[in-house]
Amino acid sequence: MDRKTRCPWCKKSEIERIYHDTEWGVPLHNDRKLFEFVILDGFQAGLSWKIVLNKRENFRQAFFDFDAGALAECGDSIVEEWMQNAGLVRNRLKLEGVLKNARAFLKAQEQFGSFDAYIWSFVGGVPIQNNWRSQNEFPNTSIEANAMSKDMKNRGFTFCGPTICYAFMQAAGMVMDHTVGCFRYDEITKG
């Protein structure tokens, strides 16, 4: 029996626990994976994270394994195809946002040399080390997330409000928001 102490949010389902234990909060520097997180966090807005995680493989298939270059070349007609796919979150604005975000992502890559260089600039290239004792202490946003949101919107990204940006920062390890009692806190900070 697993007796590890975890952040409370991940205890609702096995898929959330696995995501928490293997991905969430780990500093991420792979452009394709960062793009995946941008897309998934946009889809999560207004939904539970469990829903998005359960549809993740469907998103991977529909979105060419989160290949921004392939998505940027798609015409708007692919949105109609996606709207018929019951394995996706069928929200037209979010699906249209995938194409917009792919195009904005490629422009950021071109300008900064990588999306990684661009997105990590909001935290000076180093994760913000929080020391929360309770999940209730987690903020919904931060100065850095607000700046990221504003800049991303100016670059043509959609579904990138401050709360979504903060969730992205948590997922991509740009902020350490594992609670100090969580076994992942020490693994990541001392790892």
Band the pLDDT of 28: cuts 50, 70, 90.
Answer: very high
- Tell me: pLDDT of 1 over 90: no
User: What confidence tens digit (pLDDT) does each residue in 119-174 have?
Assistant: 999 999 999 999 999 989 999 999 999 999 999 999 999 999 999 999 999 999 99
- Establish if 182 belongs to a structural domain: yes
Helices (H), the chain: 14-22, 31-44, 49-54, 56-62, 68-72, 77-83, 92-112, 115-120, 143-154, 162-171, 183-190
d(CA 36, CA 55): 13
Residue 91 DSSP class: -
- Establish if 2 belongs to a structural domain: no
pLDDT at res. 152? 98
Band the pLDDT of 2: cuts 50, 70, 90.
Answer: confident
pLDDT at res. 190? 87
d(CA 134, CA 109): 36
- Establish if 1 belongs to a structural domain: no
Average pLDDT, the chain: 96
- Tell me: pLDDT of 3 over 90: no
d(CA 92, CA 191): 41
Structural domains counted in the chain: 1
pLDDT at res. 150? 98
- Tell me: pLDDT of 39 over 80: yes
pTM: 0.96
Q: What is the CATH number of the domain that holds 178?
A: 1.10.340.30
- Establish if 4 belongs to a structural domain: no
Write the DSSP string, 52-68.
HHHTHHHHHHHTGGG-H
- Establish if 134 belongs to a structural domain: yes
d(CA 166, CA 175): 8
Full residue range of the structural domain in which residue 109 is found: 11-19+26-190
d(CA 15, CA 11): 9
Using a 10 angstrom Cβ sphere, with 0-12 exposed, 13-18 middle and 19 or more buried, the burial of residue 119 is buried
- Tell me: pLDDT of 180 over 90: yes
- Establish if 5 belongs to a structural domain: no
d(CA 103, CA 72): 5
- Establish if 3 belongs to a structural domain: no
Q: How far is CA 35 from CA 97, 99, 107, in A?
A: 12, 12, 13
- Establish if 179 belongs to a structural domain: yes
